[in-house]
Chains A and B, each alone.
Chain A
């Protein structure tokens, strides 16, 4: 069984590149954790971070890049996603689960990332995000 993996990728800003990379990383996480649930959570947080980096960070400008660094063991995964945008006021987002926000069309990605990962830290004014998730240890693993 896999014990760990690391990965570093630089993606051009192109939304069609998001899911192939997300899927590739998800397969590795599944091999590591044997947990469909934790794989689902990592996959979703990663898709949200990558689409935000391309749409809001790089403003869909193709020549701007997104760098992705992943370091995973059977204990935890660290995901680092960085875009070439200006960042944003990440401490001042409206809560999508409150009141009429629940009826809005968008504004759920960062909230999901925070819910799904154990620790998330924006850096470089928000143009970078580092997310950590600790995997539950499986009995006998």
Chain B
């Protein structure tokens, strides 16, 4: 199964990314290049994960590369509405637990706080991991 990416601006600098399909060895580059093309200056990305049926470690790596690139320029991402098997992969790996939400409504509070912090200068750019 392949991967299709829809990307739309929800508010200034906040993009909803809707992947459909699997994020695996064969498709992870589709995700990364779609975001390079469409959301290069985003302040926040919201991954609407409801139509992602499968993710493997290469998919997780892609999500981490996207996350690090965002954090290096004081931007962030959240993931919402994951299907249970995919959520279980994230839980098993203990990753991004502060940025995974059941719904967009639940993510809004985190995003508001984050964007507020950027405005006030309390959020610093991440230094790249060595």
Binding site for B on A (CB under 8 A): 15-16, 18-19, 23, 36-37, 40, 43-44, 47-48, 51, 96-97, 102-106, 108-109, 111-112, 115
Contacts and interface: CB of A to CB of B under 8 A. Distances in A.
Nearest to A52: B57
Contact of A102 (B22, B54, B56, B93): B93
A43 B129 CA distance: 31
B79 to A, nearest CB: 15
28 contacts: A15-B25, A15-B26, A18-B26, A19-B26, A40-B54, A40-B85, A43-B54, A44-B56, A44-B89, A48-B56, A51-B56, A51-B58, A96-B93, A97-B94, A102-B93, A102-B95, A103-B129, A104-B129, A105-B61, A105-B65, A106-B64, A108-B60, A109-B57, A111-B93, A112-B56, A112-B57, A112-B89, A112-B92
- Chain B interface bracket (under 10, 10 to 19, 20 to 34, 35 or more): 20 to 34
Nearest to B65: A105
Nearest to B58: A51
B76 interface: no
A108 B57 contact: yes
A19 B92 contact: no
Contact of B54 (A18, A44, A111): A44
A115 B91 CA distance: 12
Interface in B28-76: 54, 56-58, 60-61, 64-65, 68
Contacts of B65: 105
A25 B57 CA distance: 19
What are the nearest 6 A-B pairs in CB distance? A97-B94, A108-B57, A19-B26, A109-B57, A105-B64, A40-B85
Interface in B87-103: 89, 92-95
Contacts of B89: 44, 112
Contacts of B93: 96-97, 102, 108, 111-112
A106 B61 contact: yes
Contacts of B22: 19
Contacts of B129: 103-105
B52 to A, nearest CB: 12
Nearest to A18: B25
A51 B56 CA distance: 10
A15 B129 CA distance: 27
Contact of B25 (A47, A104, A105): A47
A129 to B, nearest CB: 15
Question: Which of A18, A37, A103 has the most B CB atoms < 10 Å from its CB?
Answer: A103
